[in-house]
Structure 1
Amino acid sequence: MSQGGTWGDLSERMISGVVMVAVGMACVWAGGLIFHILIALVSGLMVWELVRMLDSDRVRTPKVLAAAAGAAVLIAGEVSPAYAMPLLLAPSMLGFGQMTRGGPTYAVFAALILLAGYGMMVVRDDFGLIWMLWLVLVVVATDVAGYFAGRLIGGPKFWPRVSPKKTWSGTVAGWIAAGALGASFAAMTGADMSLVPLSIAISMASQLGDIAESAIKRRAGVKDSSTLIPGHGGLFDRFDGMLGAALFILIVGQLVGFPPGIA
């Protein structure tokens, strides 16, 4: 998410944000199939946005690949991990034959979207509500701290060629907010304090997801991934950080013994 500019879009962003949070939290709370359906819907729509950015001349292809992606994630959530993996990669393979431009980029990012969606389902199903909330709140805290610090403090740009409004002040503020949130969750849950650096790493992964999406938009020559969400652009714009965070925890969760310090 951008960290510079004016405050003119704040009210619209807040209203849309409240609606998204309400729907998202209700589904996270419910868990199970309801949460899986939400993740499948979001994943499918993000693939739709991805195809439209990379290959705007195609009319039918975005819908076909979005439907395939959503179905793959939904089914993957109901089968064992061994069967889930080929399902999650199948839409990437399908896209090679459907895209006229940007096929390799599509294949990589579609796979990342679906794997990240699967990672969120794993966190909710295997570790429970509290740790799904931790993951979401780390990403939100990173985003919010970056948004306000970038506007209030400003300063040097993080990577002006790709994300010209993102600042180092906002980036570091996101790390600090994530670390503080990790310390709070450690105190509440009995996890050890290694949750603090893990939360900071999750914050960094979410920022990398944000930067990767910015690079795609710059390559495609678009400001937003779509106009689905007033004040926020598209779902890819809103959930790019969650992609990086969920994918990171899916990969490293076993390495660090997640949740840390809890048997």
Structure 2
Amino acid sequence: MSANWEDLKPRVLSGVAMIVVGLMTVWLGGLWFHALIGLISGLMVWELVRMLDPERRTEALMLGGLAALVSFLAPHLPAAVALPLLLAPSMVGLGRMGRGGVTYGVFTALILLAGFGMTGLRDDFGLLWMLWLVLVVVVTDVAGYFAGRMIGGPKFWPRVSPKKTWSGTVAGWIAAAVVGLIFAQWTVAGAGLAGVSVAISMASQLGDVAESAIKRRCGVKDSSSLIPGHGGLLDRFDGMLGASVFLVIAGQIIGFPPGP
């Protein structure tokens, strides 16, 4: 098998497992979805600490556990309480990091804000919009993966992410626009949803590149080895992180999503 495709089998198998678990919890919503988001958020913070400062093993467990707890509790609290609570793990961890404290503080805040945005999207706007967000991020990644290996061409940012190409990047935008046009038929958003989907796709790619930059700085290939073929949860959900944070911010500006 070509080196370009050697990671395809474990990537597909673990990807299918994640899709099954993800779809089940997204479908169920409520506490099940909140618990999944809390678990993922906590593990991503754990991975982040281990990457930035590998000697802080105890702190990684403590801060990851705190992040998981905060992420799970926040959707059940008034916003005036939830918002400062979401920033608490960043503040608590700053003084405990031997190095990478600023990166830890900012990225942890983004992780928890993204999780809070996803639970809010599912709780307030329903299953359809949550599936739209997930599918936009997934097709961006899948289209980029296959187009990048089949077409190749100029690299997107070789110094930070040597495998990413412009062909894969643009293919992700096109795939996202198609998802937007399909979902436009089922919502009141209209054809403009294609443009919003492309913006979400771009944000997911920025999240991917940001995580790649952290790994490059830390001298690691993957954020962890939790997921065969994908590395760690940060490796797998960095795109969702960027997309969710963008949706939280942009949604307040343009009043999006328009309704359940």
Please state which band the TM-score falls in when normalised by the shorter chain: over 0.9
CA–CA distance in structure 1, aligned partners of residues 3 and 88 of structure 2: 40
**Post-superposition shift, 1:174?**
0.3
Structure 2 residue corresponding to 1:177, chosen from 170, 175, 178: 175
Q: Secondary structure at the match of 1:230?
A: coil
| Root mean square deviation of aligned Cα | 1.2
Q: Secondary structure at the match of 2:66?
A: helix
Residue 236, structure 1, aligned to residue 218, structure 2: no
Q: Secondary structure at the match of 1:189?
A: coil
Q: Which residue of 2 aligns with 1:252?
A: 250
**Post-superposition shift, 1:253?**
0.9
CA–CA distance in structure 2, aligned partners of residues 54 and 190 of structure 1: 44
CA–CA distance in structure 1, aligned partners of residues 55 and 187 of structure 2: 50
**Post-superposition shift, 1:50?**
0.1
Q: Between the two proteins, what is the percent identity of the paired residues?
A: 67
**Post-superposition shift, 1:192?**
1.3
Q: TM-score by structure 2 length? A: 0.97
Residue 137, structure 1, aligned to residue 135, structure 2: yes
**Post-superposition shift, 1:130?**
0.3
Matches within 5 A, 1:108-127: 108-127=106-125
Q: TM-score by structure 1 length? A: 0.96
Structure 1 runs (4+) greater than 4 angstroms displaced: none
CA–CA distance in structure 1, aligned partners of residues 70 and 96 of structure 2: 17
Q: Which residue of 2 aligns with 1:209?
A: 207
Paired letter, 1:256: I
Paired letter, 2:215: K
**Post-superposition shift, 1:259?**
2.3
Q: Which residue of 1 aligns with 2:20?
A: 22
**Post-superposition shift, 1:188?**
2.2
Q: Which residue of 1 aligns with 2:51?
A: 53
Moved more, 135-144 or 75-84: 75-84
- Superposed CA offset, 1:132-177 (max 9, x none): 0000000001000000000000000000000011000000000000
Residue 154, structure 1, aligned to residue 152, structure 2: yes
Matches within 5 A, 1:3-42: 6-42=4-40
- Superposed CA offset, 1:100-138 (max 9, x none): 111111000000000001110011011100000000000
The total of aligned residue pairs comes to 259
Gaps of 5+ in 2: none
